[in-house]
A and B are shown apart, each in its own frame.
Chain A
Amino acid sequence: MENTEKKKNHNKTAGLIALLVAAVIAIALFGFSCVSGLTPIGWSGGVESNGVLYVGSLEGRLVTIDLIDESRQWAEPLKYPEQSGLFGCSAASACGGGTSRVPVYATPAVSGNLCYIAGYNGKIYAYNTTNLATRWIFPREGYLEALVGGMVIEQGKLYIGCSDGVIYALNSETGDILYQYKTEDKIWGTPTLADNTLYIGSFDKNLYALDADDLTLKWTFTAEGSIFTKPLVENGTVYIGSFDRYLYALNAIDGTLKWKYMADNWFWSQPVIVDGTLYAGCLDGFVYVLDPATGTEVAQPVNLKSALASTPVIYENYIIFAVHEGFVYKIDLDTLEPLLIASFESTLDGPLTLHEGVVYLQTNDAVLQRIDTSTGALLPPIYLTTQ
């Protein structure tokens, strides 16, 4: 009788403990699941070269798609350093996600017979375009900090900014480091090269203009907020958005301010200029239509009702935007009327790619979606995963 009671008490205690532990785990999981953006996922766009599309897949590897026969080819998956942290957590992965998959944010680049990809693991990889065999890896030993921004390749040099705050210039054929320039904070933006000058923004709130030959400083412009946007350079003017909510227009020669325009949130994506009008998507959900010479509004902003992080593309008389909540719009440049052409159950923050009237974008399920811009028809998707 006494034994039965003892057993009952033990069971009760064990039950209570199990309940409490389950509650703590549930609380932790609930809390973290409510905060999105803890795990790096990636949002690589695509680049087309000779009828082949190069994309950094969410699986963490370079994928090529022949746009004629839709055949695919995969490079080796990118890797994190082995045994880089307790419980398999890598320093670069920011943990929480508990994944060994390397996110890819940078859009791949192609030059000659080489294609390049930069991973969040802090490595840059160069592959042969024909068979995706590895040509070189930078750095050969060890890892840089996370690489988020894309790269630009010109005259045998590859330029890229890193989370360690350094802008690297590498020999694009060998991966040897040629020059580097240190900024005061991390760089997540993609550089722009124009007139032998490399323009790149840093989280230290500066836009840097560097000589492309040797990365010597030409000038800097200090904004009131960090700079993520890829600069747009046109007609001697550099257009750059900042986290201070301003879009700046600067003289490309000396970095002096021409004008600035304030919105309600960050300018994250690169603006575009079409037919003498500047279109700038903002995280406040509006597309601002400005005079590129003066920064004055030439039309009412177009409200797309969701954050615009994705770089737009231009096709015929339309500018095409993808918004964070998964909708794709085309805006008629004459009427500025937005027309919804596609929607996905996925966030859309990566850049769009346009080739022969078809827009390519990668959704969160690692699927390459294709939209015919003329009709708005969704073409059969292409799966970027190996399985």
Chain B
Amino acid sequence: MNVWELIIQQPLTNVLIVVAHFFGDNFGVAIILLTILVNLALLPLTLSQIRSSKRMQDLQPKLAEIQKKYGKDRQKLAQEQMKIYKESGIKPAGCLLPMIIQMPVWFALYQSIMLALAAVPEGLLNLARYLYPWPVVFSSLPLNPYFLGMNLAQPNFILAILVGASMWIQQKMSATPTDDPRSAASSQMMTWMMPLLFAFLALSFPSGLSLYWIASSLIRIILQYRVTGWGTLRRKASTGQSGKKYVTFESEDAKKTTAKPKPKDEVIITDKESLEKSRKKPSRFSKFFEGRDDDEQSGE
């Protein structure tokens, strides 16, 4: 057993089996719980990454401006960009570093899920060498692969669709809004490509992995919402038929009605009166996220 397996993979696998045992031998629940636990452990890093991305997004207009101004002089452009980053207290690698640090943990988590599933005889045999000498671990195996009537050891079409959908929402929320058609096109492409790719992978691998992807995406959506709101997901929806169904928060009309920051919970506002009311009486859902502004301020 190498260092990676000894320090990361083996403990995670055993924890997964123990969690499954204490939740009625339900492997699906174990996957979801462990995904939540790992996300909680990585929460500071994830939030830091999302905030860095958000601050980078906020700088886009300024960056676009100097791009226009110094586009031909690359040296000057780089200098100006660094100056803006420095003034805003942003490190360009700030959103990449936490992601890189988290990667090994994600690898280990899904490796552990695949290991613990032991869907085929070789898998079960392989699993034996990762087990701690705890009676609960030995007596729990092989794990019951059924969750809500689905066999987590087999690919599942519904879960694959959910993988794609949840990933699309997450991508959409974190996409950088831009007026540049070229950037918008590439951003749009990424928003579709990643979910499609993962949905395809989900159709080719045991669906226990899909469950992990879905749980991860949902957690990520919640965190993203907490920091940036619905992002481009909300904007897209609101620009569709403004005046008939929704108020466009970015519109001049909406800006005049209030100087308060827009609420970021999922409340569909159909008229200005309701908009006023909703801001006077925050919903329970928005109260849950009261710490949002503090977080944003502290991060900047």
Contact = CB atoms under 8 A, between A and B. Distances in A.
A68 interface: no
A177 interface: no
B28 to A, nearest CB: 17
A229 B138 CA distance: 15
Interface string B125-155: 1111101010100110110000000000111
Nearest to A39: B120
Interface stretch (A46-54, A126-134, A260-268): A260-268
B121 A188 contact: yes
A94 B135 contact: no
Nearest to A224: B139
A57 to B, nearest CB: 16
- Range, interface on chain A: 35 or more
A91 B154 contact: yes
Contacts of A6: 182
Contacts of A28: 201
A24 B194 contact: yes
Given A40-B122, A86-B203, A31 B107 contact: yes
Contact of B125 (A27, A87, A264, A307): A307
A27 B119 CA distance: 22
B107 A34 contact: yes
Interface in A60-96: 85-87, 89, 91, 94-96
A16 B114 CA distance: 30
A37 B204 contact: no
A143 interface: no
Which DSSP category, helix, strand, loop or mixed, fits chain B's interface? helix
A244 interface: yes
Contacts of B122: 36-37, 39-41, 349
Main secondary structure of the interface of A (DSSP, over half): loop
Interface bracket on B = 35 or more
Contact of B120 (A17, A40, A265): A40
Contact of A309 (B103, B125, B141): B125
B41 interface: no
A163 to B, nearest CB: 10
B206 interface: yes
Given A36-B126, A307-B128, A86 B107 contact: no
Contacts of B127: 37
B110 interface: yes
B233 interface: no
B204 A34 contact: no
A48 to B, nearest CB: 24
A186 to B, nearest CB: 8
A24 B213 CA distance: 14
B186 A17 contact: yes
B61 interface: no
B121 A105 contact: yes
B201 to A, nearest CB: 6
Contact of B135 (A30, A34, A224): A224
B121 A148 contact: yes
B66 interface: no
Nearest to B114: A35
Contacts of B249: none
A286 B18 CA distance: 26
A95 B157 CA distance: 13
A362 interface: no
Contacts of A39: 120, 122
Given A36-B126, A226-B141, A307-B129, A89 B203 contact: yes
A17 B182 contact: no
Interface in A195-246: 203, 205, 224-226, 228, 243-245
A244 B204 contact: no
A38 interface: yes
A377 B110 CA distance: 43
A30 B129 CA distance: 21
Contacts of B155: 85-86, 89, 95
B16 to A, nearest CB: 13
A87 B160 CA distance: 13
Interface of A: 6, 9-10, 13, 16-17, 20-21, 24-25, 27-28, 30-32, 34-41, 43, 85-87, 89, 91, 94-96, 98, 105, 148, 188, 203, 205, 224-226, 228, 243-245, 264-266, 268, 283, 307, 309, 324, 349
Given A9-B182, A89-B204, 13 more contacts: A13-B182, A17-B186, A17-B190, A21-B193, A85-B155, A86-B203, A87-B203, A228-B124, A243-B139, A283-B128, A307-B125, A309-B125, A349-B122
21 contacts: A6-B182, A21-B193, A27-B103, A37-B115, A37-B118, A37-B127, A38-B120, A39-B122, A40-B122, A43-B121, A86-B203, A89-B204, A95-B155, A96-B205, A188-B121, A226-B142, A244-B138, A265-B128, A265-B129, A266-B138, A307-B125
Q: Which 3 A-B pairs have the closest CB atoms?
A: A37-B123, A37-B126, A40-B120
